[in-house]
A and B are shown apart, each in its own frame.
Chain A
Amino acid sequence: MIGVSEHILLGAVLFGLGLIGFLSRRNLIVIFLSTEVMFQGVVINAVAFARYHRHLDGQAFALFLLVIAAVEAGLALGMVMLLYRQKQTLDAEDWSSMRG
């Protein structure tokens, strides 16, 4: 029987991959995709715990998370569009004007 730890491990791996991608990629859209991957890692975690507790709350929460991910997608892509309009580039390193 696959226990909960394997599912959580899968969720953690997804989250970790997404995090590494977020921190190391330069393309704004790829950064955003990594964020989505992190989200999915959390979704898997929620579903895993739902299965463990034999309760459907986790799956309901996973649906919420999917909606949130979608909303966040809208927001992030909207911002990326505005940023692209300013500088015609999708490079994250070009935006450092808030340097201290």
Chain B
Amino acid sequence: MNMPLDTIKYLGITILLAPLAGAVLAGALGPKILRGRTHWATILGVAAAFVASIMLFQTVRTAPVTARSAQVPIYEWISSASGADIAVEFLVDPLTSIMLLVVTGIALLVVIYSRDYMRHHDHPEPGYERFFAYLGLFVFSMCALVLGGNFILLYLGWEAVGLCSYLLIGFYYGKPAASAAAKKAFLVNRVGDFGFGLGIFLIYVTFGSLEYGPVFDMAARGITATGEALSSERITAIALLLFCGACGKSAQLPLHVWLPDAMEGPSPVSALIHAATMVTAGIYMIARCGAIFAVSPVAMNVVAAVGALTALFAATIALVQTDMKRILAYSTISQLGYMVLGAGVYAADSAVFHLFTHAFFKALLFLGAGSVMHAMGGIIDVRHFSGLRRLLPATFLTFVIGSLALAGFPMLSGFFSKDEIIHHALAAHPILGGMGLLTALLTAFYTFRMVFLAFFGPQRVPEGVHPHESGSWMLVPLFILSIGAIGAGYFGTGVTHKAFHHFLEPVFANTFASRNPHHAASHAAEAAHASFWADYGLMLISGTLAILGILAAYLIYVAQPWLAGLAKATWPAAHRVLWKKYYVDEAYQAGIVDPLRQSGRVCVGLDDYFIDGLVWIVTAVPRGLGYALRFVQSGLLQGYALSMVAGLAVILLWVFW
């Protein structure tokens, strides 16, 4: 018995349209009518979507294991008898339902949080209504991305979340840095989308269709639309082009530069978009397109390598940053690197699991940073405040919980999910696994460096700021997320018999799981239950690393603060390189942006001088002739008469000669 298609169709439409309706209401009625109550439009819309997601999840869960995937058409969008038939359709399977739960759930909490965050002394900030409209639009876009049943809807959702990111990062548009960051985010994403679009076209050229079902089927069987064998170069090219898009959206090397700048947006935006949902779209896409990726070992190696490199790279940068949100941004890039690494070593279910847990604790951390920012009057640089743990106790508590989860403290959610990925990575590529372990150590270190710098030490606040703890609208989501940060991990462990992974099994069965070349290695060890060391060794190591990192941070930043200064003084060059984020932004500016602008000037010069010069030469001929013959027009009556007579004489001569 298959899943009830009608139920899914209506649930899907609700999930899509409820936040959109909320956004339209907020945008249309907000400024004049709803004003300070605009948040209800979005909250109700997103809540409706969340409830529908839960119902969808239940529908999928109660269906028999073999029939958990359904493709539901809605209407025909671009029809053509020429074969480019694009319909608006949904694909609902366990991966979709999990992603929808994450997206709508976190979005609901963030929207509730924003009600207080976007206020100043209980007066809504200017643009309050616009904010909630954009948030609703974002939830719609992300759900469209996840629910889409073909590559075009994926691309639509992809670009639409990029748009919402642009609108929300540039929310404080009066600030030049914010609008510049928004533009940068959109353009870097566009570069990724360039590769993504090329991949989609290549998929169409190869497979003759853009729907997930036929494409994945053909890819898995290794044939193209015409029935010929699929060359490995072709499928690798497709996979790498799609991955290019993932790099852009999920801020992997070298397209990571937009995410730290995106912190110019309000903190709820950072929490929702740049931590929990939008940036995970790349991981979702790789998981969804498992059939394409898993068939190409080259692509998988590239994916894994990029993921590991990004994780390490971002972690090193986060070591020296002083802006809390930027530290969290680099930490996000680093954790996304983990997820990509997981996908790259055929452990897509672990990657999605880490996505799941990361959504909780990263959103928690960003919302906590927002709470700090709210209390500190908009300042989030740890050089300007410290010792906040007495002033903001609830924020402190939730923030520490989130930090522990991020650092991979044993028994919290991050620990389990990160551990799995490192486990699979070590089995597949020991070097990459090693990089993952090193990154885990660094993660713990810089996370708690941030905690200790902000919340410990002498109490000082910026001038003129009267810190107060946040209201319940902000604290309740924090608490809910802390529960998630602590407990979400258990869905992937033996306590629930790895419920999470089993739920996702049908999605990856034909793709990642079955083609995993490292399958034998990792499963042999597990199945053998050979020794305590094989089962729990890695857990022990990573747990120890986490605690070591926390202790090191404690030592350097709380116990003996002079050590920090010593490190900076001893290696100033290294510190400078890390502080300047490896000069990547400057390299892009000098290597790409400036030359392009220069070539634009060259083009304009060509236009004005060369091409118009040629035009001028062409016009110079009649002009010259005209100047030469001007003398004929004397303006005198008799001159004209004379030329008439002369002409007549010539004609007469010619005719009669």
Q: CA separation between A95 and B630, bound complex, in Å?
A: 17
Report the Cα distance A19→B649, complex, angstroms.
Answer: 13
**Nearest chain-B residue to A95 (Cβ)?**
B637
Whether B587 is near chain A, meaning CB under 8 Å from some CB there, is no
CB of A92 within 8 A of chain B?
yes
B633 CB contact (under 8 Å) in A19, A24, A93, A100: A100
**Do A99 and B635 touch (CB < 8 A)?**
yes
Residue B641 CB within 8 A of the other chain? yes
Q: In the bound complex, do residue A100 and residue B632 qualify as a contact, i.e. CB atoms below 8 Å apart? A: yes
Interface residue? B615 (CB, 8 A): no
Q: How far is the CB of A21 from chain B (nearest CB, A)?
A: 11
A98 at interface by CB-CB < 8 Å: yes
Which B residues lie within 8 Å of A98 (CB)?
A: 633, 635
B534 to chain A, nearest CB (A): 102
Contact check, B642 vs A95: say whether CB atoms are below 8 A apart.
no
User: For the complex, what is the distance from the CA of A27 to the CA of B586, rounded to whole Å?
Assistant: 84
Q: Closest CB of chain A to B652's CB: distance in Å?
A: 13
Within 8 A of B (CB), among A16-58: 19, 22-24, 31
Residue of A nearest to B629 (CB): A100
Q: State which residues 604-640 of B face A: CB under 8 Å.
A: 630-638
A88 close to chain B: CB less than 8 A: no
Q: Nearest chain-B residue to A25 (Cβ)?
A: B638
Cβ 8 A contact of B637, one of A19, A24, A92, A100: A92
> Which residues on A sit within 8 Å (CB–CB) of B645?
19, 23
Interface of B is mostly: helix
CB distance from A12 to the nearest CB of B (A): 13
- Specify which chain A residues have a CB less than 8 angstroms from the CB of B631 in the assembled complex: 100
Q: Are A95 and B638 in contact (CB under 8 A)?
A: no
Q: Is the CB of B635 within 8 A of A92?
A: no
Are B642 and A23 neighbours in the complex by a CB distance under 8 Å?
yes
Cross-chain contact B638 with A23 (CB below 8 angstroms): yes
Contact residues in B for A19 (Cβ distance below 8 Å): 645
Residues of B in contact (CB 8 Å), total 12
In the complex, residue of chain B having the shortest beta-carbon distance to the beta carbon of A24: B638
A100 touches B630 (CB 8 A): yes
A96 CB–B CB distance under 8 Å:
yes
Chain B: minimal CB distance from A27 (Å):
12
Interface residue A86 (Cβ < 8 Å from any Cβ of B): no
Residues of A within 8 A of B630 (CB): 100
Residue of A nearest to B632 (CB): A100
B636 proximity list for chain A (CB < 8 A): 92-93, 95-96
CB-nearest residue of chain A to B630: A100
Segment 42-100 of A: residues with Cβ below 8 Å from B: 92-93, 95-100
Q: Determine how close the nearest CB of chain B comes to the CB of A28; give it in whole angstroms.
A: 9
Cα separation A19 to B648 with both chains bound (whole Å) = 13
Q: When chains A and B are docked, how far (Å) is the Cα of A22 from the Cα of B636?
A: 12
Give A23 to B643 CA distance when docked, in angstroms: 10
Among candidates B634, B638, B641, B642, residue contacting A99 with C-beta atoms closer than 8 Å: B634
- Cβ-defined partner of A100 (8 Å) among B635, B641, B642: B635
Query: In the assembly, what is the distance between CA of A23 and CA of B633, in Å?
Result: 16
Closest-by-CB residue of B relative to A19 is B645
How long is the Cα–Cα vector from A60 to B510 in the complex, in angstroms? 110
A22 close to B638 (CB less than 8 A): yes
Identify the closest chain B residue to A93 (Cβ).
B636
Whether the pair B641, A96 counts as a contact (CB closer than 8 A) is no
With known contacts A19-B645, A23-B645, A92–B638 Cβ distance under 8 A? yes
Closest to B642 in A: A23
Q: How far is the CB of B622 from chain A (nearest CB, A)?
A: 14
User: Closest residue of chain A to B637, judged by CB?
Assistant: A92
Bound-state Cα–Cα, A46 to B633, Å: 35
> How distant is A32 from chain B, measured CB to nearest CB, in Å?
11
Distance, CA A12 to CA B353, complexed state (A): 114
Q: Which residues of B contact A23 (CB under 8 A)?
A: 638, 641-642, 645
Cα-based distance from A34 to B161 in the complex (angstroms): 90
> How far is it, in angstroms, between the C-alpha of A92 and the C-alpha of B641 when the chains are bound?
12
- Considering the chains assembled together, what is the distance between the CA atoms of A13 and B635 in angstroms? 29
Q: How distant is the Cα of A31 from the Cα of B640 in the complex, in angstroms?
A: 14
Which B residue sits closest to A28, measured CB to CB? B637
B46 to chain A, nearest CB (A): 78
Closest to A99 in B: B635
Identify 23 residue pairs between A and B in the complex whose beta-carbon atoms are under 8 Å apart, listed by A's number. Answer: A19-B645, A22-B638, A22-B641, A23-B638, A23-B642, A23-B645, A24-B638, A31-B638, A92-B637, A93-B636, A95-B637, A96-B635, A96-B636, A97-B635, A98-B633, A98-B635, A99-B633, A99-B635, A100-B630, A100-B631, A100-B632, A100-B633, A100-B634
Q: Which 9 A-B pairs have the closest CB atoms?
A: A100-B633, A96-B635, A99-B635, A100-B630, A98-B635, A92-B637, A96-B636, A23-B638, A23-B642
Interface residues of A (CB under 8 A from B): 19, 22-24, 31, 92-93, 95-100
Given A22-B641, A23-B642, 6 extra CB contacts under 8 A: A19-B645, A23-B638, A92-B637, A100-B630, A100-B631, A100-B633
Interface residues in chain B, defined as those with a beta carbon under 8 Å from any beta carbon in chain A = 630-638, 641-642, 645
